[in-house]
Structure 1
Amino acid sequence: MIKISADQISHKLGSPYYLILGSDPYLQHYTQTELRNAFKLAGFDEQLTFVIDNQTDWIAIFDCCQAMNLFSSNTLLLLDFGENSLNAGITAKLNTLSEILTPDIALIITLNKMTKTQENAIWYKALSDKLVVVNCATPDTLQLPQWVKNHLQQQQIAIEPKAIDLLCYYYEGNLLALTQIIAQLKLLYPDHIISYDEVESNINDSAIFTPYHWTDALMANKIKRAMHILQQLKMNEFEPLILLRIIQRELILIINLKKGLQQKSLKQVFDEYKIWQNKRTIYTNYLNRCDIKSLFNLLAKLTEIEISLKHNNQVQIWDEIFNLSMQFMGLDKC
């Protein structure tokens, strides 16, 4: 098995089996397009796409495989799971499919995610010797600058380093818009290194965030980032009540962690509450900065905001959430 990032796909063509893993729409489309074109050139003229869910007609898929064998047609099967995930029933069907694949059948599977347990499935192990797993997860804030540099190199575009940071700030989480603005800049300024000012004069704030980007920024005490994320969530009309629920769960978790530390080690508490390894540093730093009284004051403020929202639809809810964010980061007295 070979594991690669999406921008390496052009160097790993030629395998019969690919697993596109990750939910970034731009990376998924880019990878699928590269693979479809490569298989077309390799003589796989028949390309069939099946959207996989609990209603999928697997008999039709299996019958296609049998018919292909009869006529010796090189055929590409693309199984697209969309937002759906693997379950026991679908895994069983994939196990059966892996047993009837022949050299004239190529396979691309597009999945948002897989667990370690699912990697023990029969189909996964059966394909593993010839399987290329393509990471199509959206680059996070730390990975994005290098992704942009790689993309600029592929497109033979030169941009000032500080302008790359600007692109990352305004297009995080939105690779489609990011690649479009880069293509636009290439057309506008084809013959020289593109400057910070030239980038700044053409960009729009098109970053896409989830509420969990917001809570991570709050705990990391990244003021500018937290406010930027919140502004984008507001602009995209994210439901404020859902934000309140998410921050409420986060606060209750942190309070429980803080209480647990009175009797147990940090590792014991993290294990008990199943804190992911990649989140433990950010929780540790926040727990070291906060005290239990401030956390309960935050929870009381949150309750106050929710009560106000329920009794008065005209309440300036986003202003209240901005103030709560500042308080969460210790920048506003309770």
Structure 2
Amino acid sequence: MPALSPDAFITQLARTLAPLYVIHGEEALLALEAADALRSRARQAGYAEREVLTVEGAHFDWSQLTDAMSSVSLFASLKLLEIRIPGGKPGVEGGEALQRLAASPPPDTITLLQLPKLDRSQQKTKWFAALEKSAVITEAKPVGRHELPAWIARRLQRQGQTLGHDAASFFADRVEGNLLAAKQEIDKLALLYPQGELSLADIRDAVANVAR
């Protein structure tokens, strides 16, 4: 199925939960927020147990995934299983394990696979193709300069604040390329100013220059 934007991914979580999710992409903030939203929603739905497998290096024992998929918890009937592959390359054995996971996700379990940015060749592998068929996928793409003012405006709207075109453009210039810093500056504005429209002067006074 087509990859969702992080915002669409989080919106879908409110409607239904799927057995298998994949989050990949280079924008760390958006990937983190998507994963946090899934964890929160899973807890609300009664997935009280959480197990994390981190695949590092070429010698990861993939039988750990098989064991995690087949294990029955003594403490909770529902489990969130997270599989993290920071390098984005599971190898031959791992690729086969992920294909089995995609074909038959474990019962009473939500599985979250977390990956970095994947290049075109990685997205054409058999294991990723299998995941595309069965998982809900979101790609955390960087927010470009032309998209940034609207992204900032949506975030401010969540906290009851708005800003005009000039203020949004000035804000974007100050935080371009540093989305985590942009979020921190937005959070700061909620503390400094009441709800309502923020002026260009407000933004100039409050927002640090953290562009990179």
Instruction: Give me the TM-score of the superposition, normalised by structure 1.
Output: 0.56
Which secondary structure does the structure 2 equivalent of 1:134 belong to?
Answer: strand
**For residues 20 and 159 of structure 1, what CA distance do their matches in structure 2 show?**
31
Which secondary structure does the structure 2 equivalent of 1:158 belong to?
Answer: strand
Matched, 1:57 2:61: yes
Deviations 1:238-262 (A, max 9, x none): xxxxxxxxxxxxxxxxxxxxxxxxx
The letter of the residue matching 2:171 is L
**For residues 49 and 69 of structure 1, what CA distance do their matches in structure 2 show?**
14
The letter of the residue matching 1:55 is H
Match of 1:3 in 2: 3
Q: How does 1:289-300 map to 2 (within 5 A)?
A: none
Deviations 1:84-142 (A, max 9, x none): 12254232332243345223222111112234444454444444344222121221222
The one of 152, 166, 169 equivalent to 2:170 is: 166
Q: Relative CO higher for 1 or 2, CA cutoff 8 Å, sep ≥ 6?
A: 2
Unpaired stretches in structure 2, ≥5 consecutive residues: none
**For residues 167 and 5 of structure 1, what CA distance do their matches in structure 2 show?**
23
**For residues 191 and 111 of structure 1, what CA distance do their matches in structure 2 show?**
37
Matched, 1:80 2:84: yes
Q: Larger Cα Rg: Structure 1 or Structure 2?
A: 1
Cα deviation for residue 30 of structure 1 reads 0.8
* Contact 2:3 2:138 (C-alpha < 8 Å) held by counterparts: yes
* Contact 1:27 1:136 (C-alpha < 8 Å) held by counterparts: yes
Cα deviation for residue 63 of structure 1 reads 0.9
**For residues 70 and 125 of structure 1, what CA distance do their matches in structure 2 show?**
34
Match of 1:184 in 2: 188
Matched, 1:157 2:161: yes
Unpaired stretches in structure 1, ≥5 consecutive residues: 209-334
The one of 31, 36, 39 equivalent to 1:36 is: 39
Matched, 1:145 2:152: no
Deviations 1:181-232 (A, max 9, x none): 1121122111431110111011221113xxxxxxxxxxxxxxxxxxxxxxxx
How many residues align? The count is: 207
Match of 1:104 in 2: 108
Cα deviation for residue 79 of structure 1 reads 1.3
Higher strand share: 2
Mark the CA change 1:191 to 1:139 in structure 2 (over 3 Å): closer, same or farther.
closer
**For residues 62 and 130 of structure 1, what CA distance do their matches in structure 2 show?**
18
Match of 2:48 in 1: 45
**For residues 145 and 195 of structure 2, what CA distance do their matches in structure 1 show?**
30
Deviations 1:302-331 (A, max 9, x none): xxxxxxxxxxxxxxxxxxxxxxxxxxxxxx
The letter of the residue matching 2:21 is Y
Match of 1:19 in 2: 22
Mark the CA change 1:122 to 1:103 in structure 2 (over 3 Å): closer, same or farther.
farther
Mark the CA change 1:120 to 1:24 in structure 2 (over 3 Å): closer, same or farther.
closer
The letter of the residue matching 1:199 is I
The one of 199, 205, 218 equivalent to 2:203 is: 199
Q: How does 1:301-320 map to 2 (within 5 A)?
A: none
Matched, 1:136 2:147: no
Deviations 1:133-171 (A, max 9, x none): 212122122222222222223333212221111111111
Cα deviation for residue 55 of structure 1 reads 3.2
Deviations 1:269-316 (A, max 9, x none): xxxxxxxxxxxxxxxxxxxxxxxxxxxxxxxxxxxxxxxxxxxxxxxx
Match of 1:293 in 2: none
**For residues 96 and 45 of structure 2, what CA distance do their matches in structure 1 show?**
30
Match of 2:117 in 1: 113
* Contact 2:26 2:140 (C-alpha < 8 Å) held by counterparts: yes
* Contact 1:9 1:34 (C-alpha < 8 Å) held by counterparts: no
Runs of 4+ that moved beyond 6 A: 69-72
Mark the CA change 1:51 to 1:116 in structure 2 (over 3 Å): closer, same or farther.
same
The letter of the residue matching 1:8 is A
